[in-house]
Amino acid sequence: MRRRLPITSPSDTMDKGYGKNKPSRICLLATLSVFFWVFLLYFHFVVLGGSTVSESAELIPASSVRDSRQIVSRPMTTSRSSIDVRNEPKDFGNFDSVDTRSENKISEESSSFVKQSNGEAKYSEESSSVVSQSDTESSSVVTQSTSEPKISDESSSVVTQSTDAQELPVRNPTTNVAEKPKDFPFMKALRTAENKSDPCGGRYIFVHDLPPRFNEDMLKECRSLSLWTNMCKFTTNAGLGPPLENEEGVFSNTGWYATNQFAVDVIFNNRMKQYECLTKDSSLAAAVFVPFYAGFDIARYLWGYNISTRDAASLDLVDWLAKRPEWSVMGGKDHFLVAGRITWDFRRLSETETDWGNKLLFLPAAKNMSMLVVESSPWNANDFGIPYPTYFHPAKDADVFMWQDRMRKLERNWLFCFAGAPRPDNPKSIRGKIIDECRQSRVGKLLECDFGESKCHSPSSIMQMFHNSVFCLQPQGDSYTRRSAFDAMLAGCIPVFFHPGSAYVQYTWHLPKNYSTYSVFIPEDDIRTKNVSITQRLSMIPPEQVLKMREEVINLIPRLIYADPRSKLETQKDAFDVAVQAVINKVTKLRKDITEGRTNDNFIEEISWKYDLLEEGQEVGYHEWDPFFSKPKNNGNADSDAASTEAAKNSWKNEQRQHS
Ligand SMILES: *[C@@H]1O[C@H](CO)[C@@H](O)[C@H](O)[C@H]1NC(C)=O
Ligand SMILES: *[C@@H]1O[C@H](CO)[C@@H](O)[C@H](O)[C@H]1NC(C)=O
Ligand SMILES: *[C@@H]1O[C@H](CO)[C@@H](O)[C@H](O)[C@H]1NC(C)=O
Ligand SMILES: *[C@@H]1O[C@H](CO)[C@@H](O)[C@H](O)[C@H]1NC(C)=O
Ligand SMILES: *[C@@H]1O[C@H](CO)[C@@H](O)[C@H](O)[C@H]1NC(C)=O
């Protein structure tokens, strides 16, 4: 690591003041006081400090310019969070290009000290013990000067390098084995990727041959799958449901089905049968698929069944899996399964009978597996968001291209629209305001859903409205996500989200990282407290940008839909393909990490939503969406978790309004 001079060049800070006398004097003063603090901190840490350094290095990365509150509050977090900045391997090559500012000096100074002094893995306990001393100092430095997150990331990366090296042998048993990497049971599978004459190299999937009680039997008893909906018609056509007639000319003539929003269990499993690189030899497999209908299983028992009934199939499954030779290869970490329901149905918090759902996702075995669900938990690492099914399931590329072309050419008469019901019981819901604005605006269109007969339940009415609108509003429902977001994008309608949990932190495999390329974000609070006009906000977007966004949405269509599982698209990757590739990438990366002795010990599950949003080389730290995902501190996680299970319960009730 190259070290910069510990003294900031004053001109850096002065630059901004040129041409303005007063500011430059203030700058001079600021610089002087910064020097003062630099010196003080240097003295404090390096001369007196001993082991106090790591936390101060960790403070700086949190110093996002936007919010100095965060910097002050940051040290309050426990020693666990001091770990997070060190998580990902860094690019160390950038130091020269970095603009020198004083507070970064400190962190670099101090972190290089870590390198020299930190001999043991005690790191975090020590650092937290000094928090009270260091926090006021470093935060005052930050508020005086303009900080640049980029730089601080790099300084923290110094910590990464120096501490990781020492922690690995202590914490991770696999590092012992790492000296002879050829011994891992998955080496053969990894090596298939190097075989140039094998088009499936590195992509093989092994599918467990589960007893029918875990899948097929549930379909035979489809009447029991829902108290209110006869699911039998929705399990027809390989899970697509009954075909939709195209009487009003809204759909295309083929490829449209009245698909139930919770049918992904079956669709995915049938789609897997078309996967081009299935193998019967599990030693070649890049990942192992478990065709358990987890969503259908719990759907049978959500209402009026005791917890032992609700948990029975999950326990049975993990018991069955653990006895298979495939399990022992990675303790199940290469296994994945699919549930077309929201994650909260599988995260029962306690053994209390009145608590919601089963505990599948809390079982130790399931914590090792990856579960793909239509809504994942921002605070957990073993579930991943995949798209809800839409009504469109094309059987060939040409059907997709034709649909895309049609969506490009449509004339859209409404600026925005909303299909949904108010949530009068939920004081925090912004749906009431959105519905009001749709009613009052001459450019907004509303399809109100209520109990009983309503156009809101007719696929053709919904899709027709989306065809006719430039923007489609997608506020949270009972839980973060809505199927409607996918129906809207399928219609080439640009989604407007009000909470990052509704899509941006959910479908990171399927949607672009930069959400402004395909959607509009209006934070809920702008509606709730600032009385922002949606009409105004949306009409301010320049037409050429609207065109660009719509084109992006339309280009996304193939990867957001599930192709007809009974055939296969020739070249286009559908939602299934994207998900499977992402699972393979994840398992492959884990395997390479193991063979190369890297560990992921610093991963903090509680903020798992942040990791997928990181740009290359970025570290986790403060994020502007933190307030959306913060959990109440005092009473543990009770509030937000209770809200989540309440959401699951309500979403089930509301499900009954559809497809009735
Ligand atoms: C490479 O792949 C081809 C085609 O699947 C196969 O026949 C061959 O045995 C593989 N080679 C090795 C070294 O595994
Ligand atoms: C749970 O319900 C099932 C039948 O629905 C019953 O056989 C079983 O004894 C019950 N278990 C407990 C612990 O109450
Ligand atoms: C989960 O994985 C870890 C590490 O690979 C392993 O030690 C553990 O036994 C696995 N858990 C289960 C229930 O198999
Ligand atoms: C994200 O996309 C928007 C719109 O295309 C663009 O203006 C912006 O620069 C992009 N941001 C990043 C970080 O790439
Ligand atoms: C919110 O704004 C609308 C017009 O955009 C206005 O009619 C309404 O009175 C405002 N409400 C409040 C509480 O400010």
pLDDT tens digits along 319-339: 999 999 999 999 999 999 999
Ligand 3 pocket member 368 (CB < 6 A): yes
Q: Counting ligands in written order, which one lies closest to the CA of residue 440?
A: 5
- Binding site membership of 197 for ligand 1 (Cβ less than 6 Å): yes
- Residue 209: pLDDT band (50, 70, 90) is very high
The mean per-residue pLDDT over the stretch 636-654 comes to 53
Nearest CA to ligand 1 atom 12: 195
Q: Are 619 and 164 in contact (CB under 8 A)?
A: no
Choose the weakest-confidence range: 355-364, 406-415, 596-605: 596-605
Task: Choose between 641 and 50: higher pLDDT.
Answer: 641
d(CA 437, CA 612): 34
Most confident of 93-97, 141-145, 200-204, 226-230: 200-204
**Atom 11 of ligand 1 has which residue's CA nearest to it?**
195
| Residue whose CA lies nearest to ligand 3 atom number 4 | 331
Answer yes or no: pTM beyond 0.85.
no
The residue nearest atom 12 of ligand 3, judged by CA position, is 365
Per residue in 6-44, pLDDT tens? 333 333 333 333 333 444 555 555 565 655 555 554 545
Quick one: CA dihedral 467, 471, 477, 480, positive or negative? Answer: positive
Task: Using the predicted structure, report yes or no on whether residue 545 has a pLDDT greater than 90.
Answer: yes
Residue 622 has pLDDT above 90, yes or no: yes
Quick check: CB of 200 below 6 Å from ligand 1?
no
pLDDT of amino acid 489: 98
If one residue of 187, 192, 195 were mutated to test the ligand 1 pocket, choosing by the most ligand atoms within 8 A of its CB, it would be 195
| Ligand 3 center from residue 329 Cα (angstroms) | 10
Sheet containing strand 383-385, edge to edge, reads: 278-279, 205-207, 287-289, 335-342, 370-375, 383-385
What confidence score (pLDDT) does residue 651 get?
A: 52
Query: What does the pLDDT look like over 235-245, one tens digit per residue?
Result: 999 999 999 99
**Smallest-distance ligand from the CA of 590:** 3
Q: Which atom of ligand 2 is nearest to the CA of 306?
A: 1
Please, which pLDDT band fits residue 183 given cuts at 50, 70 and 90?
confident
pLDDT at 617: 85
Given a contact cutoff of 8 angstroms between Cβ atoms, the answer to whether 581 and 559 are in contact is no
Ligand at shortest distance from the CA of 327: 3
Give the number of the ligand closest to the Cα of residue 190. 1
**Ligand 3 atom 9 nearest Cα:** 331
Q: Higher confidence at residue 367 or residue 660?
A: 367
Instruction: Give SS3 for 104.
Output: helix
Task: Read off the pLDDT of residues 305-317 as tens digits, 9 standing for 90 and up.
Answer: 999 999 999 999 9
The residue nearest atom 1 of ligand 5, judged by CA position, is 531
Residue 305 Cα to ligand 2 midpoint, Å, equals: 8
- Mean of pLDDT values over 540-558: 98
pLDDT of residue 657 exceeding 70: no
Please tell me the distance from the alpha carbon of residue 289 to that of residue 272, in angstroms, as a whole number: 9
CB-based pocket (< 6 A), ligand 4: 514, 516-517
Cβ atoms of 243 and 315 closer than 8 Å: no
Q: Measure 330 CA to ligand 3 centroid, in angstroms.
A: 7
User: Is residue 316 in contact with ligand 1, taking CB distance under 6 Å?
Assistant: no
Most confident of 44-53, 136-145, 548-557: 548-557
At residue 477 the predicted structure's pLDDT band, cuts being 50, 70 and 90, is: confident
Dist CA 289 CA 323 (whole Å): 16
Kind of pairing between the strands at 383-385 and 520-521: unpaired
The overall longest dimension of the chain from CA atoms, in Å, is 82
The band of 180, judged by pLDDT with boundaries at 50, 70 and 90, is: low
CA of 515 to the centre of ligand 4 (A): 8
- Which ligand is in closest contact with the Cα of 312? 2
Residue 628, helix vs strand vs coil: helix
Q: What percent of the chain has pLDDT over 70?
A: 67
- 303 phi/psi in degrees, rounded to 5: -110, 125
Per-residue pLDDT band for 432 (boundaries 50, 70, 90) equals very high
H helix and E strand count, the chain: 28, 11
DSSP assignment of 426-486 equals: -TT--HHHHHHHHHH-SSEEEEE--SSS-GGG-HHHHHHHHHTEEEEEE---SSS--THHH
- Per DSSP, 119 falls in state -
Give, for 172, the enclosing helix (H) or strand (E).
none
CB-based contacts of 385, cutoff 8 Å, min separation 6: 372, 373, 374, 375, 376, 481, 506, 507, 508, 509, 510
Question: Does residue 651 or residue 655 have the better pLDDT?
Answer: 651
pLDDT at 188: 94
Q: What pLDDT score was predicted for residue 641?
A: 55
Radius of gyration of the chain (CA): 27
CA distance 167 to 164: 5
76-124: pLDDT as tens digits:
333 333 333 333 333 333 333 333 333 333 333 333 333 333 333 333 3
The predicted structure's pLDDT at residue 648: 59
Structure tokens at 249: 């000319």
CA torsion, ordered 4, 5, 11, 12, to nearest 10 deg: 30
- Predicted confidence at residue 228, as pLDDT, reads 78
Whose alpha carbon is nearest atom 5 of ligand 3? 331
Residue 59 has pLDDT above 80, yes or no: no
Q: Give the nearest ligand 2 atom to 307 CA.
A: 1
- In the reported structure, the alpha carbon of residue 435 is separated from the centroid of ligand 5 by a whole-number distance in angstroms of 14
575 and 387 Cβ atoms separated by less than 8 Å: yes
State which of 379-388, 453-462, 612-621 shows the largest mean pLDDT: 379-388
Give 308 Cα–ligand 2 centroid separation in angstroms: 7
Q: What span, in angstroms and rounded, lies between the C-alpha atoms of 644 and 638? A: 10
Mean pLDDT of the chain: 77
Q: Whose CA is nearest to atom 2 of ligand 1?
A: 198
Give the ligand at the shortest distance from the Cα of 330: 3
Residue of the CA atom closest to atom 13 of ligand 1: 195
Higher pLDDT, 394 or 126: 394
Q: What distance in Å separates the CA atoms of residue 597 and residue 172, rounded to the nearest whole number?
A: 9
- Provide the pLDDT for residue 25: 56
Please give the structure tokens belonging to residue 241.
């449901």
Is residue 519 within 8 Å of 492, Cβ to Cβ? no
Q: Angle at which helices 294-301 and 264-272 pack, to 10 degrees?
A: 160
Ligand 3 pocket, residue 365 CB under 6 Å = yes
* CA-proximal residue: ligand 5, atom 4 (nearest): 533
Q: What per-residue confidence (pLDDT) applies to 36? A: 55
